[in-house]
Amino acid sequence: MNALTEDGVRRLGRDPEALEEFYRAHVRDIERFIARRVADPHEAADLTADVFVALITHSADYRADRGSPLGWAYGIARHTVAEHRRQAARSLRLTARISGRALLDADSLVRVEERLDAERSARSLYAALDTLPAADRAVVELVALDGLTVADAALVLGVKPVTARVRLHRARRKITTHLGDGIPAAPALLEVQQ
């Protein structure tokens, strides 16, 4: 699906077939992204749905010169999770959290719970990443956890590629110092795509 053209992505908001193709190609990536950041299966399902609603809503704004379609989707997912966290800080009673539970059938809930269980160790590692400054952590998440290139991560974050590389190097050094060899996932985190 990375071969999807700029015009193809722009059609997501008005072409159900293009949307279905994009959804099927990337829903698992977005679910993993969300599951590493959210522990509640109902919240994870709601946020995944919110990401695809935002993709539909903003499909006309996509520009191929700013990154791949998947990188664009991760950027929207990142903003969706950040907005969710801001709302949670303002209020303990989220209407979306309550209504989302009523919308999940038993099979969907089992699938989301399985995804969350599969990502549990990633969430533990993500907690270790909280020791990093936000800008450094964001680069590590996009490159090491979500598989974006450093250039695509720079586009998602709105910084120059060299800035992203410096942040990534600094973060890798801090993670290595902080985790040492204690967490099996640490070496995988430090393997990066250029």
Average pLDDT in the chain: 80
How does pLDDT run across 41-73, given as a tens digit for each residue?
999 999 999 999 999 898 888 888 888 888 889
Q: Where are the domains of the chain?
A: 1-118, 120-194
Q: Determine the average pLDDT of the residues in 140-168.
A: 91
What's the CATH class of domain 1-118? mainly alpha
Q: Determine the average pLDDT of the residues in 170-181.
A: 74
Q: Residue 123 to residues 2, 21, 36, 144: CA-CA distances in angstroms?
A: 27, 29, 5, 14
* 1-118 and 120-194 in the same fold: no
What's the CATH class of domain 120-194? mainly alpha
The span from the CA of 129 to the CA of 127, in Å, is 5
Ranges 40-44, 75-79, 176-180: which has the least confidence: 176-180
Q: What is the pLDDT of residue 60?
A: 85
Confidence of residue 96 (pLDDT cuts 50, 70, 90): very low
Q: What is the pLDDT of residue 76?
A: 93
Q: What is the pLDDT of residue 4?
A: 63
Spatial contact of 152 and 142, defined as CB atoms under 8 Å apart: yes
Confidence of residue 29 (pLDDT cuts 50, 70, 90): very high
175 or 19, which is more confident: 19
Q: Is-above-0.85 flag for pTM?
A: no
